[in-house]
Amino acid sequence: MTSDRTTSDPLLEVDDLRVAFHTDAGLVRAVDGVSFSVGRGETTCLVGESGSGKSVTAEAITRLTPSPPGEIDGGTVRFDGEDVTRATDSRLRELRGNRIAHVFQDPASALNPVYTVGAQIREAIRAHRDVGKRAARARAIDLLDATGIPEPATRVDDYPHEFSGGMKQRVCIAIALACDPDLLIADEPTSALDATVEAGILDLFAELRAAFGTSLLFITHDLGVASRIADRVVVLYAGRVMESGPASAVFDRPAHPYTRALLACRPGVPGGSRPIPGSLPDPVDPPDGCRFAERCPHAIAACRDGEHPARHRVGDDDHHVSCIHYEGNEGTELGPPPGEGAAWPAWSTRAGGRDE
């Protein structure tokens, strides 16, 4: 892929990452040549439907992909200049939790039910810091306090089942922050929570980012969430990057038909929410050409041939789209789909609702 990135020296650079799963049905290429980067102190959002390869990408960064059946079979993941895909196991353990930490989707299952939350925070601390039990406990209490858990000094000895869902996720975030990581990878951290709790957790992420200076890779299927916290947005579909760029550019001037469709199917869009017709392509035997072609109102015969469309720049920002319609006319925008006319919602206005 091209290397025309404007952000100098990004913290994380994922280049042409490929992850495959061996299943009974055949080889599933869940992530098939994904490239993006996370700048220092930046928040990058990976967005896409479920099954688009977001979570697989997130796990592959620190090689948490379960193997077998999973396998990272191509590409590089550069963290702070170091290729993580080639790191030794012990080097990998030094990175995990210490410099790159994860927050998972479902806090109820991400916490081990048989240990107190304090023990689980201490485990993360003592994996990387040579501190005594007491110091680790004190740090655990501080972390619980920082993540907004009331009475942290007593709660530290409680078991996960004694916390509510939102509180559990705060504990998970406390664990992730235990060693003051440079990069926090949050995989749909609010999807399992109630909408009322979600806002609190998102605020917490914003707060912590400011306080700890952590870079954030945030994975979500919810464009509303992405628009609230993202600096950059990477749109995935069927294991491939469709569009990427600064959040303002992507939300204000979505270029790829898929991004537009995603924005259009959000609830509360003027003119009514429009679901995307069809479903994800067969993961074992994906179609040639653009994988979204089957569902794309702009699709032409050329879309269904050859390789995944090349990246094209849109506008003047670092805004790129993988769509055949932008070939040769970089910088211009695609019009409404033929025959759709005004029914297609206007994307020149802010559809993402970042101002709410």
Partner 1 sequence: MRAYLAKRLLWTLVATWITVTITFLLLELSPVSASEAAFIDRQVQAGMEYEAAAELYDRQLGGGGTATERYLDFVVGLATLEWGHSTTYNRPVVDVVADAWVYSVQYVLPATVVAVVVGFAIGLYSATHQYSAGDYAATTLAFVGVSLPNFWFAVICILVGGVWLGWFPTHYTTDVPGLLSLANAHQLVLPTFVLGTAAIASQARYARAESLEYVRADFVTAARSKGISERAVAVRHVLRPASVPLATVLVGDVLGLLFAGAYVIEVIFGIPGLGLVSYRAILQGDTSLVLATTLIPVFVAILGNLCQDVAYTLLDPRIELGEGR
Partner 2 sequence: MTGDAPSAEGSTPPDGSPAERVPPDIDSPDAESPDAESPDADGLDFREIDWAAHEGGRSVPRRHLAFCGVVAVGAVAWALDAAVGIDRGTRFETGVGPASIAPAPGHVDWLFALTLFVVGWAVVVPLVRNPRAAARYWRGFRRNRAAVAGAGFLLVVLAVGIVGPLLLGRPSIDLSNTYRPPVFMGGTWAHPLGTTRSGEDLLRVVVVGMRVSMQVGLIGTAVVVVVATAVGTVAATAGGLVDEALMRFVDVVLTFPTFFLVLLVVYLYGGDLFTITLILGGTTWAATSRVVRSEALQRVEEGYVTAAEAAGASRAWIVWRHVVPNVSNTVVTAATLVVPSLILYEAALAFLGFGDPDVWSWGRVIAEGRSDLQNAPWIATIPGVFLFATVLAFNFLGDALRDALDPRHEADRR
Binding site for partner 2 (CB under 8 A): 21, 23-25, 28, 51, 69, 283
Could you give the string, one character per residue 67-96, with x where binding to partner 1 holds by CB under 8 A and - elsewhere?
Answer: -x--------------------x--xxxxx
Shorter beta-carbon distance to partner 1: residue 128 or 260: 128
CB neighbour class for 11 (10 Å; exposed up to 12, middle 13-18, buried from 19): buried
Shorter beta-carbon distance to partner 1: residue 127 or 265: 127
255 binds partner 1 (CB under 8 A): no
Judge whether 217 and 103 are in contact, CB under 8 Å.
Answer: no
List the single partner that 51 binds among partner 1, partner 2, none, CB under 5 to 8 Å by kind: partner 2
Shorter beta-carbon distance to partner 1: residue 19 or 324: 19
113 binds partner 1 (CB under 8 A): yes
Which of 101, 117, 235, 236 is in the footprint of partner 1 by CB under 8 A? 101
List the single partner that 28 binds among partner 1, partner 2, none, CB under 5 to 8 Å by kind: partner 2
Judge whether 168 and 64 are in contact, CB under 8 Å.
Answer: no
Query: DSSP H helical segments within the chain, as ranges?
Result: 54-61, 89-95, 107-110, 117-128, 133-146, 152-155, 165-176, 195-212, 223-229, 247-252, 257-264
Which of 110, 193, 241, 255 is in the footprint of partner 1 by CB under 8 A? 110
Q: How many Å apart are CA 170 and CA 296, to the nearest integer? A: 39
List the single partner that 161 binds among partner 1, partner 2, none, CB under 5 to 8 Å by kind: partner 1
Name the one range near partner 1 by CB under 8 A: 112-120, 199-207, 294-302, 331-339: 112-120
17 binds partner 1 (CB under 8 A): no
Q: How distant, in Å, are the alpha carbons of 53, 340, 343 from that of 270? A: 29, 16, 10
Shorter beta-carbon distance to partner 1: residue 115 or 212: 115
Report the first-to-last Cα separation within the chain, whole angstroms: 36
Contacts of 308 (CB under 8 A, 6+ apart): 32, 33, 240, 289, 290, 291, 322
Which of 49, 71, 106, 145 is in the footprint of partner 1 by CB under 8 A? 106
Which of 188-216 are b and which e, b meaning 16 or more Cβ less than 10 Å from the residue's Cβ?
Answer: bbbebbeeebbeebbebbeebbeeeebbb
- Please tell me the count of residues contacting partner 1 according to CB under 8 A: 34
Cα Rg, the chain, nearest whole Å? 21
Which of 54, 128, 155, 168 is in the footprint of partner 1 by CB under 8 A? 128
Judge whether 147 and 173 are in contact, CB under 8 Å.
Answer: yes
Residue 187 sits at the vertex; the CA angle it makes with 255 and 31, to the nearest 5 degrees, is: 60
SS3 288: coil
Residues 155-214 that bind partner 1 (CB under 8 A): 159, 161, 172, 175, 178
Name the one range near partner 1 by CB under 8 A: 36-44, 59-67, 133-141, 223-231: 59-67
The DSSP call for residue 188 is: S
Q: How many Å apart are CA 311 and CA 294, to the nearest integer? A: 20
Q: How many Å apart are CA 105 and CA 172, to the nearest integer? A: 10
129 binds partner 1 (CB under 8 A): no
Shorter beta-carbon distance to partner 2: residue 51 or 289: 51
Which of 98, 215, 244, 322 is in the footprint of partner 1 by CB under 8 A? 98
CB neighbour class for 93 (10 Å; exposed up to 12, middle 13-18, buried from 19): middle
Judge whether 220 and 262 are in contact, CB under 8 Å.
Answer: no
Q: How far is the CB of 331 from partner 1 (least distance, A)?
A: 41
Q: How far is the CB of 187 from partner 2 (least distance, A)?
A: 16
333 binds partner 1 (CB under 8 A): no
Q: Which residues bind partner 1 (CB under 8 A)?
A: 59, 62, 64, 66, 68, 89, 92-98, 101-102, 104, 106, 109-116, 123-124, 127-128, 159, 161, 172, 175, 178
